[in-house]
Amino acid sequence: MLVVVGGHSRNIGKTSVMASIIRDTAHMHWAAVKITQFGHGKCAKGGDCECAGTQHAYSLSEEPVATTKDSGRYLGAGAAKAFWLRTRQGNLGHALPVLKRLMSSNANVICESNSLLAYFVPDVYIMVLDGRVEDIKDSARRYFDRANAFAVVEGGGDQWPWDGLPRRWLDGKPRFTVQPPDYRSAELSKWVLSTLLTNAKG
């Protein structure tokens, strides 16, 4: 099973929403993946490498213990494994072989990304929305209509500041309110499990 959690912008609670789903559904023994795409000229491996972003198209690392960084938080929430995939902007396709191996070796995978939808059809795609934040990423705009449900940050659910997105892409789909600081929705987690079960039976 593949669950993808995305969002229209940075810093709107995507990691917290994903961690809350993991916490509520820990019996799924999730392999959780954080996908980060850096701008041009930066190395995917990071650290002291001086390749100027020209040699390493991607880098995948497994988190050994729970930490405060995003991928480490997945372990703290109860994920069986947690990974951090870093790629240069526009180079996610280079990581497809390692992503496919990861998905084939883990029964249940949950990823934080929008761009993954260019290569995979998830069983569930949840988009986090905060109508108070006007910024919208190109990847969110591209895949907005494919969202199966929305996690709407409390206080930002009635606004629609993004030009060029039909309201019908939001209307008629499940919407679950999430509230800082934990961004948890028990109803969202139950819906995820129910949808996965339905897909498995189908």
Question: What's the pLDDT tens digit per position in 167-193?
Answer: 888 888 999 999 999 999 999 999 999
Residue 34: strand pairing partners: 84, 112
Domain span including residue 182: 2-201
pTM: 0.89
CA distances from 200 to 99, 108, 151 (A): 21, 12, 23
CATH at residue 43: 3.40.50
Q: What is the pLDDT of residue 168?
A: 86
Residue 201, pLDDT > 70, answer: yes
Q: How does DSSP classify residue 82? A: E
Residue 52, pLDDT > 50, answer: no
- The kind and range of the H/E element at 83 are strand 81-88
Calpha distance 88→86 (Å, rounded): 7
The predicted-structure confidence for 127-145, as pLDDT tens digits, reads as follows 999 989 999 999 999 999 9
Classify 162 as helix, strand or coil: coil
Tell me how many domains the chain contains: 1
